Structure 1
């Protein structure tokens, strides 16, 4: 590869722009909703369902992600990408018109379904069209794609929510999404997936994905009803429904942290879950406990995305300098920084604006190191074909564990309120769970050395 070649060289220019714009649209929506979620829950009288604003979105990604993976391997990413965009648009429109928390949650599920499929298409495009030397650069550009949304999205969303209505946040995402789709689709249509023999497991995987999402939803609903008897029953039923799909859908050894790709995916799911959950509940703590306005809380959350994007660019340069030999070390270092960032904001009574910003910046640096690098390591495990499946596994890691952990956090808040425990103490418990999660992730990250692609199933 020529030293002058980059992700913006002629062979990659249109695709790179399309990928960055697609990620920017999804990122803008995600960051904006993080800011206005407290206002949505309050306006629709649904604070007890607060966690579902995020969990419905992330759990629906499971279905969108896993259903589209094998389809991409057979037909390429263009058609699935188009369908995913339409589903995402419908979800945005329904959310803007929602008059109840249940309709809002359903619309968020549609958004998650579309976003999961979209991002799987994006990951597949990276694995098929970019050489290994450019993958950390385009994955690092994901962080760059969050710069504009992270600087403007949360703040603008907060202002819109305060001055007008949170509904305009959803309407405002539509033009961004439509422009990004107009520029992205031509590039996606030029991508052809390598021929992969169709198997009878495609439909089975689809139903397993649906069963996993249903089981997880039942599990989270049960958590929110504890310690009632019905809640205990739902938790048990949910876990029973989740076990078999997880064993079948994940690469062999993921649940036991087998070295290589399985541990890469486990590590990614754990640190991404901790990061997203900490951000979401930090906003709730800053607005409901500390009395900050939504726009101020949004700017604090944005500091993490900015540091993430800057370090993501730097890690691509470091990767080029050592020819990828330091990737596993960068994952471990990134997670160590996440431990520091989470610890900083763990004790809610001591958190103020300065402490929150410091914690978010440190966590963002950790994500800038660990997130793109883990993606590059996963792609290095791809053998002949199967790009869609490995891409789906990456997106699965970015959606399933965060959905569960945010749902657990929401359940903790609901149980706290029902039992008379203060919101502040409920948030401390939630942040403590995130900290324990990232400590487990630290152990998993020491086992990410690559293994043969045959480990993937």
Structure 2
């Protein structure tokens, strides 16, 4: 195996796959950063303040459906077909949102976009599992994270500037056009590669798909509860969360809810930290605009440090992750996230300098950058060629479900407290609580097929 040390993610055999996959991640990053920045503007333009949280949670919710379908499809017949369909749905969703004339139409686009985004993520993970050797997994996922660097530099600023000086619609339509160009290039390159297949049948897909639809509907219901009176909204939300909990368990490895050692804890912590980070992030631009008078452009710039830190720490993880060890990475990451949420909470309560928010959120981005790709590496380390799709979809389902439910609950809490910036501290306190719970699975990640 001495020759294995010479191969890389950029060698002749893999370079076009690497470039294509990184391009798709890059465009997904552009879109994610753009949505976070322009959503306050979209909400005002389409009179959709009550549905602000659903615009985030709905996309994450429907992504669960895409993950389940593409995970099973990839295990059975290889990831090429699922990837193509997922990218097409992603583009369609962007077009629908960008051309929307009402908040309802905009949400439809976001739901379609979620189907594509979720499926695309799982399909790309299976591509990595099938054509990259295990010792390159850390490097390829670091490259995926590095694909956030340029979006971090220009994405929030550009999206804010587009919304402020042109029209918010171009934050969606522009990404759709670029994704179409990248998709054509990727489709041509992947045609010549053998991505493998599976057993040729998709066992149990109907049941898993039905459960995924229940999870998605439950997450949307939690978000829509914010538009109901609090006395009705909270019971609706809590019932929906309970339904989600029952439906999501069969879509995940056994032992997730009790933080079982190894893969179950990997899956669990992914959902917890995703829920904490993205629920808080949805309200960072809102806080800066409402409390400190930031324009959309400057609110976008405020998110740049976190994106830089995410990409930089992901690169460090790719190079030094094995030396640090999974437990140490988890504890460092959770500490950084806790400090980030605490700094934002204190700023929201005291109206201190927005610089505290920007620096604190940068620490949070660093914590996510260390932990996120490591969890993906561990998931593949616990997988075989026959279940890489299921395990990858489980990781992504936990991510999306945790994010969707947390964002929706945060939106309901904000609406209950009046909807102004004075109600934002409850969101950041909620994020801190999720980080504290994450310590338990963080200590039980194990090593998979990696050396101890």
TM-score w.r.t. structure 1 length?
0.93
**Could you say which residue in structure 1 is the equivalent of 2:380?**
379
Counterpart for residue 392 of structure 1: 393
**How far off is 1:298 after superposition?**
0.6
**Aligned equivalents of 2:326, 2:265: Cα separation in 1:** 14
Name the counterpart of 2:271: 269
- Could you report, residue by residue, the CA deviation over 1:19-43 in whole angstroms, capped at 9, with x for unpaired residues? 1001011110010010000000011
2:10 match: secondary structure: coil
3-state DSSP class of the match of 2:119? helix
Q: 1:246 aligns with which of 232, 245, 248?
A: 248
- Cα distance in 1, alignment partners of residues 312 and 203 from structure 2: 44
Tell me the alpha carbon deviations over residues 80-113 of structure 1, each in whole angstroms, 9 at most, x when there is no partner: 1111122111111111111111111111111111
Alignment-derived partner of residue 292 in structure 1: 294
Report if aligned partners of 2:54, 2:220 keep a CA contact under 8 Å in 1.
no
1:218 lines up with 2:221 in the alignment: yes
Unaligned runs of 5+ in 1: none
SS at 1:228's partner residue?
A: helix
Give the C-alpha shift of residue 4 in structure 1: 3.3
Partner of 1:326: 325
2:428 counterpart of 1:425:
no
Partner of 1:184: 186
- Structure-2 separation of matches of 1:70 and 1:318: 33
Q: Distance in 1 between matches of 2:34 and 2:366?
A: 21
CA–CA distance in structure 1, aligned partners of residues 244 and 337 of structure 2: 28
| Distance (whole Å) between structure 2 residues aligned to residue 26 and residue 220 of structure 1 | 23
Q: Do the aligned partners of residues 241 and 355 (structure 1) sit closer, same or farther apart at CA in structure 2, a change above 3 Å counting?
A: same
Contact 2:50 2:226 in 1 (8 A): no
2:198 equivalent to 1:195: yes
- Change in Cα spacing, 1:369 to 1:100, as seen in structure 2 (3 Å) is same
TM-score, normalised via structure 2 length:
0.94
Does the 8 A contact of 1:15 with 1:184 survive in 2?
Answer: yes
Quick one: distance in 2 between partners of 1:449 and 1:87? 36
Q: Cα deviation per residue 1:312-348 (whole Å; 9 max; x = unaligned)? A: 112211136x3xx713321221122111111111121
The answer to whether 1:54 aligns with 2:56 is yes
Query: How many Å apart are 1:240 and its aligned residue?
Result: 4.7
8 A contact 2:223–2:412 mirrored in 1: yes
Alignment of 1:54-203 (within 5 A): 54-189=56-191, 190-196=193-199, 198=201, 200-203=203-206
Tell me if structure 2 keeps the 8 A contact 1:224–1:410.
no
Match of 1:340 in 2: 339
Q: 1:8 to 1:451 in 2, by over 3 A?
A: closer
Q: What residue in structure 2 maps to residue 436 of structure 1? A: 433
- Distance, in Å, in 1 between the alignment partners of 2:182 and 2:13 is 19
In structure 1, the residue corresponding to 2:220 is in which secondary structure?
A: helix
On the 8 A contact 1:78/1:188 being kept in 2, the answer is: yes
Distance 1:136 1:398 in 2: 19
Instruction: Report how far residue 194 of structure 1 moved.
Output: 4.4
Unaligned runs of at least 5 residues, structure 2: none
**Could you tell me whether the CA contact under 8 Å between 2:58 and 2:107 is conserved in 1?**
yes
Q: What value does the CA root-mean-square deviation take over the aligned residues?
A: 1.9
Number of residue pairs matched?
445
